[in-house]
Amino acid sequence: MFLHRLPTPVENTLPPNISKAPLTYARSQKHPLFRRQFLPSFHGPRTVLLPSPNVAVVSGSSWRQPEPFPPELRPDLMPKHVAVIMDGNGRWAKMRGSPPWVGHEAGVESLKRLIHLCCSWGIKVLTVFAFSYDNWKRPKVELDFLLRLFERTIDTEIEAFASEGIRISVIGDTSKLPNSLQKMIHNAEERTKQNSTLQLIIAISYSGKYDVVQACKAIAGKIKDGVVEIEDINERLIEQELETNCTKFPNPDLMIRTSGELRVSNFLLWQLAYAELVFDPKLWPDFGKDQFLEALASFQQRQRRFGARH
């Protein structure tokens, strides 16, 4: 049977001057049934479906309390860039007899938990697949809710993100978004562009194919204008035109997909070339500290060759 979450662990690549130490970690415990309770947020409580108490919630006070670095992990082997396909919101809601938007609401809280952990544990870039270009095919009522949810989340969390040193970047074909959301995205990017604790890259109306196509168009325009020659085209030039050129670390070290699906679904197709992949069976609203710790522990035990032989 294929193990979804953790492929067979192997040693990570370490610089020559760093000694290798054994790494052990505990597997996460399964969460009990969900229950209805008040959900703390940065700006006050509201009632939604929430995982049981062993899935931490980021509240206004706990956001400012860094999560202690896990003894199971090594700081020198932490990924600089983690990418996440946040899958399973709809199924999470359906299992509870609720409409899809209830799952999307719970998914936002799961994202807050992950952002808090990344800030606490020294990860520099977190890219999340919030809305695929292909998601425009979904029912209008769900699309309208998602777009309002994006606006509300930016509006309510921008103060906390700014104060915690989080830089917000958005990639994707934002021309398809409502003008009000486009304006909010622009303002959020401008307000947080000097922050350096964590860069949160949100992929909205994004696809990996779209990204490569728009990069090719940009290069073709430069050739037409005489800025570059055909002979100048190489991998580096293409990477400079991809939308992830907004960050110092454009290529994810680790990609996590939740819900047990075993595919990358048109996400960062170029950038994931040498990323380590973890497929977690938990639905996205159920994904918490235990699952993230297990994914990071798996990453740290792998040997990254980048095509070479060790």
CA distance 206 to 251: 16
Place of tokens 């293409």: 238
User: Which residues contact residue 116 at a Cβ distance below 8 angstroms, ignoring those fewer than 6 apart?
Assistant: 58, 62, 63, 67
Q: What are phi and psi of 168, to 5 degrees?
A: -105, 130
What residue type is assigned to position 36 of the chain?
R
CA distance 30 to 36: 18
Q: What are phi and psi of 203, to 5 degrees?
A: -90, 110
Instruction: Answer yes or no: are the C-beta atoms of 209 and 266 closer than 8 Å.
Output: yes
Radius of gyration of the chain (CA): 20
Active-site residue identified among 87, 211, 286, 290: 87
Q: Is 134 a catalytic residue?
A: no
Strand 166-171 versus strand 198-206 pairing type: parallel
CA distance 56 to 133: 31
What residue type is assigned to position 20 of the chain?
K
Paired residues of 204 in beta bridges: 131
CA 35 from chain centre, in angstroms, equals 26
Q: Which amino acids are annotated catalytic?
A: 87
